[in-house]
């Protein structure tokens, strides 16, 4: 997956994009003045598909949009992010995810192309764990193969596949 940002991102959004690159099988591309079409072409040139664009609101990352072949998003996730100091890295070659939200598990497996596992969390895998936390908030957390929590922590507010 190729990760980029909306135009003129804040330092917090760029930092979040680099943090995602550390925990997902992806590459971060500094967008600069590139149009979305140019980003698609660059992604194809580098061998990355699909594309994730991080949008922001008031200088904070607020939305993940997923694209595969056209210039309209095919899915989105509204987010809040815990931008504590980044720590750790995950071996993304052996990454799996466990998701307690069936609709979201389908969406993420389609765009992230990561193996979905249904058993409970285990320390022996690098894992994305999507769970319901306090106050019924859906949380995406990243764990290394020793069971250590890796930043960032993402709070998912809403998600949807879009049909054009």
Tell me the CATH architecture of domain 2-81. Answer: 3-Layer(aba) Sandwich (3.40)
Distance (Å, whole) CA 36 – CA 53: 9
pTM exceeds 0.85 for this model: yes
What are the sequence ranges of the domains in the chain?
A: 2-81, 92-161
pLDDT single digits (tens) 140-162:
999 988 888 898 999 999 999 88
Pairing of strands 95-99, 126-132: parallel
pLDDT single digits (tens) 109-151:
888 888 788 766 556 778 999 998 888 889 999 998 888 889 8
């Amino acid at each position: 997956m190729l990760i980029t940002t909306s135009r003129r991102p804040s330092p917090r959004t760029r930092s979040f994009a680099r943090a995602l690159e550390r925990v997902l099988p992806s590459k971060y591309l500094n967008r600069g003045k590139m149009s979305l079409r140019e980003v698609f072409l660059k992604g194809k040139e580098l061998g990355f598909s699909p594309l994730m664009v991080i949008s922001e609101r008031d200088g904070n990352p607020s939305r993940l949009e997923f694209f595969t072949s056209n210039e309209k998003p095919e899915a989105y996730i509204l987010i809040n992010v815990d931008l504590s100091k980044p720590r750790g890295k995950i071996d993304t070659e052996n990454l799996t995810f466990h998701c307690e939200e069936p609709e979201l598990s389908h969406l993420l497996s389609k765009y992230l192309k990561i193996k979905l596992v249904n058993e409970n969390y285990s320390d022996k895998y690098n894992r994305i764990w999507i769970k319901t936390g306090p106050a019924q908030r859906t949380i995406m957390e990243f764990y290394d193969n020793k069971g250590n929590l890796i930043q960032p922590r993402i709070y998912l507010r809403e998600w949807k596949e879009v049909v054009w």
